[in-house]
Amino acid sequence: MDYEDFLATGTADFDWRFPDDEWSAIALNYTSGTTGKPKGVVYHHRGAYLNGLGNAITWNMRQHPVYLWTLPMFHCNGWCFPWTITALAGTHVCLRRIDAASIAAAVERHGVTHLCGAPVIMNMMINAPEPQRAVYAGRGVAMMTAGAPPPAAVIEAMEGLGVDLTHVYGLTETYGPVTYCAWQEDWNGRPAAERAALRARQGVTYAVEEGAMVADPATRAPVPADGTTMGEVFLRGNIVMMGYLKDAAATEKSFAGGWFATGDLGVMHPDGYIELKDRSKDIIISGGENISTIEIETVLYRHPAVLEAAVVAAPDEKWGEVPCAFVVLRPDMTATAEEIIAFCRQNMAHFKAPKRIVFSELPKTSTGKIQKYVLRERARAG
């Protein structure tokens, strides 16, 4: 059955019933399982409506966009873009298979203006054969990315493709994007590497969100906006979930103090932009020093032979735990563990460099996010 035949089975005089209360549930989304314990997140009509509009405002979208679905619609209800694109009388372009060739072909065939995707999608695009990469030049395609902090090297490569990248941050509990790296005109003249580092920040809140802060998780006191003092990211407003399905204890814990605790660690810069540093459970404490896995991954992605990388803590008798990097090499390149460790030591403080390198495929969720809890189990098992 095709789409038009399906529509023909509908009832033209159906009596639509709108919700009696805008706070009533509209959808149930399960967290993607990066922690191994998915929870049911209840969305309400008000939040979905507001974030649908928030996407259009944030991205400065016009009427009739052509939107390519590389982001799964089941992931935070497609970050609310099913509603955003429909509200703007846009075109939804769907793919049966997500790969670089399909994405490039759809962009060329349908005149795609917008797409969203996790960093794994960007990796596909920038590592595609030259004819596929050439498709994006001069088209003004806009892409929104989130799901994991993208390495600056990947952002720089996307800029080289000619894709206008917007970096956003959010969780299943916040209907998808809730903050974005609002671009400032005076950043345009800076070197490419510096622009990429700025674009990697998670930024400021959507206009439809009430507030965001980086604070001490114990006291909820905001940390200094100095770009170095680390705290937990807290959010509140209408685009935060109603709660977890049939889990009052988890809901109460998450909203203690009137803010939603994200579990993400970050810093607040003097200009008011948030920058994530790690998940609270991912931070590595080695010999009493805190080490950000994201910082190590950012360096690893600069190595010319590295296609993908993820860092977790591995137990160590001397230091308690040390960074262990799981690495996927580019198909046409080689590198030894010693070479990669040496590269890291050349580009960051020596104590932060990974002590172990494992060449292995990375386990991922259905939305393309790396399952670090699986990697942690492998690291513990030696």
Taking only the tens place, the pLDDT of each residue in 63-73 is: 999 999 998 88
- How confident is the model at residue 31, as a pLDDT? 80
Which of 233, 259, 279 terminates a domain? The answer is 279
Quickly state the pLDDT bin for 147 (edges 50, 70, 90).
Answer: low
Strands 176-180 and 320-329: unpaired
SS3 of 354, please? Answer: coil
Same domain, 31 and 168: yes
Residue 237 lies inside a defined structural domain of this protein: yes
Same domain, 312 and 338: yes
Residue 6 lies inside a defined structural domain of this protein: no
Same domain, 119 and 201: yes
- How confident is the model at residue 175, as a pLDDT? 95
Same domain, 272 and 289: no
Residue 235 lies inside a defined structural domain of this protein: yes
First CA to last CA distance, the chain: 51
Quickly state the pLDDT bin for 368 (edges 50, 70, 90).
Answer: confident
Helix/strand/coil (H/E/C) assignment for every residue in 78-110: HHCHHHHHHHCCCEEEECCCCCHHHHHHHHHHH
Quickly state the pLDDT bin for 149 (edges 50, 70, 90).
Answer: low
- How confident is the model at residue 380, as a pLDDT? 87
Same domain, 182 and 267: yes
Taking only the tens place, the pLDDT of each residue in 103-139 is: 999 999 999 999 998 887 898 999 999 999 999 999 9
Q: What is the CATH number of the domain that holds 226?
A: 3.40.50.12780
Our count of domains for the chain comes to 2
Same domain, 225 and 274: yes
Same domain, 147 and 82: yes
Same domain, 178 and 237: yes
Angle at 138 between CA 114 and CA 161, to 5 degrees: 75
- How confident is the model at residue 12, as a pLDDT? 86
Residue 9 lies inside a defined structural domain of this protein: no
Same domain, 89 and 135: yes
- How confident is the model at residue 81, as a pLDDT? 97
Q: Are 41 and 30 in contact (CB under 8 A)?
A: yes
Residue 367 lies inside a defined structural domain of this protein: yes
Same domain, 188 and 252: yes
Residue 316 lies inside a defined structural domain of this protein: yes
- How confident is the model at residue 288, as a pLDDT? 62
Which of 279, 305, 340 terminates a domain? The answer is 279
The average pLDDT across 351-379 equals 88
- Rounded Cα–Cα distance for residues 273 and 187 (Å): 14
Which of 212, 247, 279 terminates a domain? The answer is 279
Instruction: Tell me the residue type at 379.
Output: A
Quickly state the pLDDT bin for 37 (edges 50, 70, 90).
Answer: low
Taking only the tens place, the pLDDT of each residue in 7-30 is: 999 998 999 888 999 999 999 998
- How confident is the model at residue 133, as a pLDDT? 96
Host domain of residue 270: 18-279
Residue 10 lies inside a defined structural domain of this protein: no
* Cβ count near 324 (within 10 Å): 25
Same domain, 221 and 354: no
In the chain, the percentage of residues whose pLDDT exceeds 70 is 96
- How confident is the model at residue 248, as a pLDDT? 93
- Rounded Cα–Cα distance for residues 103 and 190 (Å): 30
In the chain, the percentage of residues whose pLDDT exceeds 90 is 68
Same domain, 204 and 57: yes
Taking only the tens place, the pLDDT of each residue in 236-288 is: 999 999 999 999 999 999 999 999 999 888 999 999 999 988 776 777 878 66
- The number of CA neighbours under 13 Å toward the Cβ of 362 is 23
Q: What is the CATH number of the domain that holds 367?
A: 3.30.300.30
Instruction: Tell me the residue type at 164.
Output: D
Q: What is the mean pLDDT of the chain?
A: 90
